[in-house]
Every structure is written in C-alpha cells, then in structure tokens.
Amino acid sequence: MVKRSISIKGARTNNLRSLDAEIPRNRLVVFAGLSGSGKSSLVFDTIAAEAGYQLNDTFPPFARNRLPKWTRPDVEHIDGLSPVVVIDQRRIGGNARSTVGTITDAWTYLRLLYSRLSEPHVGESNHFSFNDPAGMCPTCSGLGEVVASAVDRFLDLDKSLQQGAIRLPGFGNGGYWYSQYADIGAFSPDTPLRDWSQDERDALLYGGEAAARLGRRPPKDYEGVVERFERIYLHTADNVSERKQETIRRFTRSEVCPDCDGDRLNERSRSATVLGHTIGEMSRLEITELAGLIRGVDGPHVAPAAAALVSRLDAMDAIGLGYLTLSRATTTLSGGESQRVKIVKHLGSSLTEMIYVFDEPTVGLHPTDVESVTRLLGRLRDSGNSVLAVEHDPAVMAVADQIVEVGPGAGADGGRLVFQGTFEELRRADTHTGRALSRRRSGGRTPRAAEGAIRITGATRNNLRRVTVDIPAGVMTVLTGVAGSGKSSLAAELVEQHDVTVVDQRPVSTNRRSTPVTYTGIAPVIRKLFARHNGVSAALFSANSEGACPGCDGLGIIYTDLAFMDGQEVVCEACQGRRFTPEVLAYTVDGLSIADVDALSIDQAVHRLPDKGIAGALRHLSEVGLGYLRLGQSLTTLSGGECQRLKIAKELRDTDRPTVYLLDEPTTGLHPRDIDTLLHVLDTLVGQGHTVVVIEHNLDVVRHADWLIDLGPGPGKHGGTILYEGPVAGYTPDNGTPTARALAAGPD
Ligand code: ADP
Ligand code: ADP
Ligand code: ZN
Ligand code: ZN
C-alpha cells in the first residue's frame, strides 16, 4: 500500500544538514527558501533522485541502461516514494529535428489525418514524417534549413589581397591558399578590393563565368573562394575540429531550405491538402487556430485521431502556449516554454500515484499567465498525484496545500527545514520567506534621469509590427508583456542594432576544473600564499602538478566514460575528493590546508584568508549574492540564475566604459531577499553610467525600473506592438492592460 507521506531521515546531499521531513502525498507542496538554501538538493537531488534510483532498480539491467541515470542520494532513510517525473527548465534537446509538433506527439496525429484524408491520396503516414526518408525533403534532409555561405562576411573591401582582404583562415597573406589568388596574374594583389570592378570581385569569389566575362583567364583549375570554402568546410564528411566549427559558425548562416521553403517534406507530401491546407500551412498556424480548424474534421476513419489532436492542442492552449506553432523548432524555445511543453506530454497521461517535480514552473510567465500554471498543478494533484514544486512566486504558494521552507540561510548556513505549514501560517512565520511575504511594499521610486537614448528602429523580427522605440540611456528599463508578446524578439533586435552585452543564464563553463577560484583569477595568489607560509614551491599547490592526487589527476572525482551509457562520477578513493597528495595537504595557512581552502565559502574566505588581493577579487561575488558558493565548487554545478550573477560580478569588476546590459528574467531562481540584492547590483551598474535593460515579470523589479516598455496586447500575432512606454508610475489601471492591472493589484 502506498504511504500517506514521503518520509525522509538524515538527508545530507550537498548542503543539507541531516534534514528530516514528512512530505504529504497527493498534495501540492511548494518548497521555498533563499537561493542556495538547499531546495533543489532536497527535492531534485534527494527525493527525485532516490525515486528514480529505486524505479531503475526494478528494471532488468539491459533496460536500466536506457533509462536516465540517478546518483543515489546521501540519506539515511527514505520511504513513501513512487515513480517520479521531473519537469525542469532544461532546454529540450539540441536536435534540429525536434519541433513543438513532434515533441508533443501532435505531429503524429496530424500525419495520420493527412494519410487518411489528403488530396491527392498519398498513403502511409510516414510519407508525412520529415524524419523518414519516405517523407523528407531531399535537399535539406528534413531539416527545413540549409547551411549557406555568408559570402558578405568573406571579404574586407578596404584591404588588398596582400593586406588580407580574404578573411577566411588560410586565405590571408602567407596562408596556404593565398598564392592561388594573389599570384596567378588574374587579380591585382595590392589594390583594395573596393577599387576592383564588381566582375573582378565575382571572379575572385566564384571563378567560372564572371572570370570569362573579364576576358582575363584564371588558370583552368581555378577554384573561386566560395567554392573552395564550401568544399573544404561544408561538403566534407571528415570529423570537423573545434577550430573548423568556429570558422563555419563565423562564415555561414542557416537559410530556409530553397526547395521545401522550410516545410521539411518532399514535393509530393508538401502539396497534399486537408480542408484546403497543406500540412506545412497547418504546422505554421498558431496552435489556437489549428485547434479551431481540426475541430471541423470528421469522418469514421479519422474522428479518434482528430479528437486526440484537438485535446493535445487544447492542453497547450490551456497552459499559455496557444501562440506557438507546431513547426517551431524546440531548440528555439525559452526555458519556461520548454518546461510547459514538457508538461503537455504528461497532461494526457492517465497514470496516478506519480510524483511530479517542478522547477519554478512560473518562469517566463506574466502574472496573468501564472494562473493557468497553478490550475494545471492543481489538476495533476486532483487526478491522484503528488506535486512538488520549487517556487518563489507567492501566487503559487497561495494555492499550495503546504509550503516547506529550507534555510535559514544559504549554502553552509542553510540545509535545514525551518518551516512547514500553510500559506497563512507562513505569512506569520519569522523566516526569510515569511518576512518577505508580510513586508509592505514601498511605493514607486523617483526615476533617475536618462542621458540620451538608444533607438531600436523598424523592428519586424518574429511577431514585431515595425516597432520603433527609444531606450533611455544610463538608467534601468524593464520590458514587460504576456508570454509570447515579443519581449525577447525586441531584445534580440536591440542586440542586433547596437553593441550590447547580454548577461544570460547559460553555463559559464563546461570544464569541471573551473571554480570560483579559477574564474576570479585568484588561483596563483592562493598558491603563492601557501608557498610563502610554508617555504615551498607554489607549483606544488596546482592541480596540474606533481602535488595533485595521482588517482584522479587533481579532479577529486573519477569520471568513467561508458560507451553506450551516461558517464558515471565517483569521489576519488585515494584523496577522498581532496585533490592533492597527503604531503601537500599537510601544508597549511592559518590552520587551513589547500583542501580546507577549497571548502570555504566565498564569504568565509574573504574573512579567513590573510590577503587583500583575494578579498578584493571575491568581493564582487559576495555583492551579487553568491557569497555562499564554495571556493572549490565546480562551476558546472551552478544553476542558470547563479551563472547569470557570476557574469554580472565579472562585469562589475572589469568594465569601465559605458555599456548596455541586457538581462532576460534575472529573478529566475531568486528568493525575494535575493531580488533585493540583485536590484542593488543593477543599481550599481546604473550608478557606473551603464544602461540596463531587463526582461522581467517580477513586480518588484518592474516597480524598481526607471522606464517601462510594455508589449502586447496578446501573444504571437496578437502582440508585437508597444502598449506603453514611460515611467513606471505613469502606467495605471486606466490603461486597461494586463501589466497595468498587475502593477496595481499585485500581491507583492
Ligand atoms: P536552492 O535550490 O535552494 O537554490 P541548492 O540545493 O541548489 O539550493 O544548493 C544548496 C547548496 O548546495 C548551495 O550552496 C550550492 O552551491 C550547493 N550545491 C548545489 N549543487 C551542488 C553540487 N552538485 N555539488 C556541490 N555543491 C552543490
Ligand atoms: P516573449 O519574449 O514576450 O515571450 P518572444 O519574443 O519570445 O515573446 O516571441 C514573440 C513571438 O515570436 C511568439 O509568437 C513566438 O512564438 C515567436 N518566436 C520567438 N522566437 C522565435 C523563433 N526563433 N522562431 C520562430 N518564432 C519565434
Ligand atoms: Zn528542404
Ligand atoms: Zn584523488
């Protein structure tokens, strides 16, 4: 029999301090607490990991290899678990073949309809699959895009061949291919290309006809720059090295396939119609509209497929994805959109007694859209599941059956259960979250004065309707609007039209040796400190030297690459994760070994390490609220929000000339108290003369901005216009828009 609760005894994963908890089953439970307090360590790394591990264990070995790998958590005892589904914000696959249609199975049903109903009748449903040779466009192999030379980037017209006018590697003066162009007598090697005729430039790039027109014959086997580039870089089956890939990225761009025009299908499948529409046309309709169209389909052979398709589409609409199209590549979805697409996959499921685990399901959602997510979480619970969500949004806490707060602080100061109860009880609790909920908001602030403006002109990207807008310089502007209204598109346009530094949530490093120490450049300082105090060579304390543990090459862990499975990480037995030989570990500074230093948090290190340079370099990390990270913590373990703050810290330290910073939802993963820290940091940037542009839904951030640009009114083609631009305080409910209403009403 399934237990009434998930009971956990002695959880110690990451920073958890032998935490005990009873989490009720079949309820919606929200996990709150400061960033870094240990919410994810409890929910993902303990509960979900153990549930996943136990589930895998029930499968025979060959099947286990095909399931996701779970590392067994450090916990004394845990029971009351059942199969778990983790719905996080990790982007969906890097695979260009995956679209909103394929990932939600909607495409499978649509294909079925076409195979049964289309005119002319085509036959099997695999004829409508762009992942199947029977259906795919031969030109782009079903990708809808082709890689094409970005010829406009090849040449620097202000230079002569001698001066390196051909920008491609290997084509400059002294390069391997240089003499094939400069020394054949067909071109003048010392005239800037700008002074050549168009025919001459064409002959250089394409050879062939253009050269013939010139009457000046290059050698018979002459190969134009473009042909040669494409032969060496694009039409090659070789393994492409990192450097080649970089060159390809710089000198090519993806273009819509000239053959299928992006529909991915071959001629025959592309032209078949149902209700007068080709499958390509249907895939480019907004989901809301497509649902309306498919409702009109009926007939004995297709009614069940049509009904299944409509229910999928309605589910997407219900969680605020109605503005997407089935053709949309999943690689272009934002983190929040990816998470909601994953939810759709599970909505249709009739399984019960599952544990659903969510990571901030409100990310990317306007306050107006949040309600659709809370409804959905309730629906999953009501069909007999346990729903656990890590979430900071009070609107979600308000509908939860229970809230669990992990804390009291972050990192080593967190890891305990500090509150468990209802929303009402939490509002009265003396915890970080309780205090944040009960605190009274200060009114609007006096906007800072701009110094000129940065203009975005005639933006038409995605759904934007020829938007021209000024962004005031030297102050903080916030971009708002419902999901899909065009905020990211406008931001992308800002990046394209101006020199902008994007501070995003992408990983800062994929190298597991990167830590706050290497990132801030204090590694040599620490090594010298140890050398000075102990009278030995500084090199000993480098993880690349003979001082490093030979068992793990100074990594502290051993990584086993298993041919057909995910790799496995285990702590090195020889050094117990301490990375150095016992001899090196015996040297200390102020009672701390080099491994002890790695284990210090940044805040601790600032006080403990007797060196001003170290404290100075780490100060910015504390300022952005990352003081709880350990010095030796691999940067690959950081969340998206943490990576973003790390990047801000670097900018605080390094940048002195006025810069435009763009941040996309920087409050992701942040507790209200951490948001105060973030706003303080953004103010510091503005104080230094920089311009800050933030895409954000969090009302604290919106109210803090000097200028507001609201996009809308709706998502997709119902949006793309500017509803308001001006000081935040000037946007009142009289404007009648969702953002203005949320600003007036907002719970926080
Ligand atoms: P939250 O979800 O509350 O933001 P986490 O559970 O992610 O917090 O992190 C709690 C603490 O554990 C933080 O100090 C974090 O830096 C640390 N931590 C998280 N993941 C790892 C990991 N894989 N290895 C070591 N430390 C980690
Ligand atoms: P927001 O940032 O306000 O959520 P976006 O700018 O991401 O909105 O999206 C605006 C519209 O453009 C939506 O209809 C969205 O589906 C579409 N869109 C966004 N990115 C792409 C893309 N890479 N390819 C095609 N359509 C896109
Ligand atoms: Zn094609
Ligand atoms: Zn070791």
Q: What is the per-residue pLDDT across 648-677, written as a single tens digit (0 to 9) for each?
A: 988 888 777 899 999 988 888 888 888 888
Tokens coding 84? 């778990």
Verify whether ligand 1 is closer than 6 Å to residue 73 (CB atom): no
Instruction: Write down the pLDDT at residue 564.
Output: 46
3-state secondary structure of 695: strand
Instruction: Write down the pLDDT at residue 234.
Output: 83
Q: Which residue has the higher pLDDT, 69 or 693?
A: 693
Q: Which of 698, 694, 693 is nearest to 739 (CA)?
A: 698
Distance CA 488, CA 492 (A): 6
Return the CATH class of domain 453-508+639-745: alpha beta
Q: Check residue 336 and give left, alpha or beta (phi > 0: left; psi -120 to 50: alpha).
A: alpha
Q: CATH topology of 100-140+269-318 equal to that of 516-637?
A: yes
> Is the model's pLDDT at 458 over the cut of 90?
yes
C-alpha distance across the termini of the chain, in Å: 42
The H or E element spanning position 135 is: none
Other beta carbons within 10 angstroms of residue 441's beta carbon come to: 11
Q: Which residue has the higher pLDDT, 591 or 298?
A: 591
Distance CA 644, CA 624 (A): 10
3-state secondary structure of 406: strand
Pairing of strands 476-480, 707-712: parallel
Task: Please list, residue by residue across 378-415, b when 16 or more beta carbons sit within 10 angstroms of its beta carbon and e when fewer do.
Answer: eebbeeebbbbbbbbbbbbbbbbebbbbbbbbbbbbbb
Name every protein residue with a CB atom under 6 angstroms from any ligand 2 atom. Answer: 323-324, 328, 332, 462-463, 481, 483-489, 715-716
Cβ partners under 8 Å of residue 650, min gap 6:
519, 620
Instruction: Write down the pLDDT at residue 41.
Output: 94
What are the residue boundaries of the structural domains of the chain, listed by start? 5-91+334-438, 100-140+269-318, 147-256, 453-508+639-745, 516-637
Asked if CATH classification 3.30.470.20 holds for the domain at 516-637, the reply, yes or no, is no
> Is the model's pLDDT at 349 over the cut of 70?
no
The full DSSP string for 498-552 is S-EEE---S-S-S-TT--HHHHHT-HHHHHHHHHHHHTS-GGGGSTTSTTB-TTT
DSSP code of 364?
Answer: T
Work out the pLDDT band at 366, boundaries 50, 70, 90. confident
Q: Which residue has the higher pLDDT, 215 or 421?
A: 421
Return the CATH class of domain 147-256: mainly alpha
Work out the pLDDT band at 418, boundaries 50, 70, 90. very high
Highest average pLDDT, of 53-62, 289-298, 418-427, 572-581, comes from: 418-427
Distance CA 175, CA 166 (A): 10
Verify whether ligand 1 is closer than 6 Å to residue 634 (CB atom): no
* Domain 5-91+334-438, architecture per CATH: 3-Layer(aba) Sandwich (3.40)
Which atom of ligand 1 sits closest to the CA of residue 45?
Answer: 6
Which residues, chain by chain, have CB under 5 Å from ion ligand 4? 549, 551-552, 572, 574-575
ipTM field:
0.91
Residue 446 CA, ligand 4 centroid: distance in Å: 56
Cβ partners under 8 Å of residue 393, min gap 6:
360, 362, 370
Q: Which residue, by CA, sits nearest to atom 5 of ligand 2?
A: 486
Q: Mean pLDDT over residues 371-397, rounded? A: 91
Verify whether ligand 1 is closer than 6 Å to residue 33 (CB atom): yes
Q: Which residue has the higher pLDDT, 97 or 503?
A: 503
The pLDDT tens digits for 168-227 are 999 988 889 999 899 888 889 999 999 999 888 998 998 877 666 666 666 777 889 999
pTM of the model: 0.80
Which residues, chain by chain, have CB under 5 Å from ion ligand 3? 137, 139-140, 257, 259-260
> Is the model's pLDDT at 597 over the cut of 80?
yes
The pLDDT tens digits for 507-550 are 888 788 899 999 999 999 999 999 999 999 999 998 888 899 99
User: 100-140+269-318 maps to which CATH number?
Assistant: 1.20.1580.10
Beta bridge partners of 256: 145
Residue 694 contacts residue 705 (beta carbons within 8 Å): yes
